[in-house]
Amino acid sequence: MNSTHPNRSCPQCEQPLPADAPYGLCPECLMLGALETMPMPDHLKPSGRLPELGEVFGGYRIGRELGRGGMGAVFEAEQLETGRVIALKLLNHQLDSPEARARFLREGRLAASINHPNSVYVFGTEEIGEMPAISMELVGGGTLEEIVKARGALPIGEAVDMISQVVEGLEAAEEIGILHRDVKPGNCFQDVDGTVKIGDFGLSISAEARDKNLLTMDGTIFGTPAFSSPEQLRGDELNVQSDIYAVGATLFYLLTGKAAFGGKSVAQLFANVLESKSPSPKKKRPDIPEGLAAIVLRCLRKIPFGRFGSYLELRKALAAFKSDLPSPANSGLRFLAGTAD
């Protein structure tokens, strides 16, 4: 039987901590740290060593680094057994308790159950040298954040086409009970064929556990405040409307090149998201149609029930503003086309 520490609780969810809790977090909140997008305080950074370029690490040969956060990094890697090139996400800590290990693997299996052309595919989760690892599909066209930084605000039809694909990927996840909780331009990827996919499902949690607090721990932010709903910043219960808020904030960014809310400090940003009226994207870009601006503002309403009730409702509203360009073929159609060739 595992004991708990009588005088300690998790600073994230306030549940009693196991006696052997690593880094002062309960197992679930420790796993949620994989979604972290702001640097971790130095006194909380673990000391585990991440692999280097060319190193054989478990069943993978490590390639270039694709990104790094406070609790780990993502690498391009070759799976030695199959020769397949994937994205390997490594969490820079150990799962010291059986409960943490079981939950990590269980959530990985849940994420791997999403199979949709607009979702980055998760192959699986494992431990390599006691380091948690998530193997994922490698998407080659960059993130929507990178695209906007390179090109600026996107054409209206293109932005709507992109966000509509993101919505379809999120809808597929929601159908099996998964909330993403960190929708943002940096977690939306464009493949080389133009398909847009929502990613970083590796440690998203099921809707059944959505009432856990993802806010702060000694200055660490879980999720990204500029794209997080007011209820997420308050630590309230989350639902699909919380992710719909983040979809609206992401569309605002694609249309204007700027986040809907900003601030000179994290505290000011929190205050603006929680208290300030949501700005219309037309103020930054007057050529945005009134109807599309209204869709964005509805997504960004402070009260969840004031937003769209479902992804289907949102997709139908966006349809009028999509471009005339054909959407990328889904994986089944591409397979059939290849077979015919």
CA-angle at 299, arms to 296 and 302, nearest 5° = 120
Catalytic option among 161, 182, 200, 243: 182
Q: H-helix or E-strand containing 87?
A: strand 85-91
Q: C-alpha distances in angstroms, 25 versus 35, 58, 83, 219, 237?
A: 15, 27, 37, 14, 20
**Residues 185 and 258: beta-carbon distance below 8 Å:** no
Q: Find the DSSP H helices in the chain.
A: 27-32, 98-112, 144-151, 156-175, 230-234, 240-256, 266-275, 290-299, 311-318, 331-340
Structure token pair of residue 96: 């010291």
**Residues 2 and 18: beta-carbon distance below 8 Å:** yes
Residue type, position 248, single letter? G
* Catalytic site includes residue 191: no
Cα atoms in the 13 Å half-sphere on the side-chain side of 132:
28
Match 């991440």 to its residue by tokens.
Answer: 50
Q: Which residues are catalytic?
A: 182
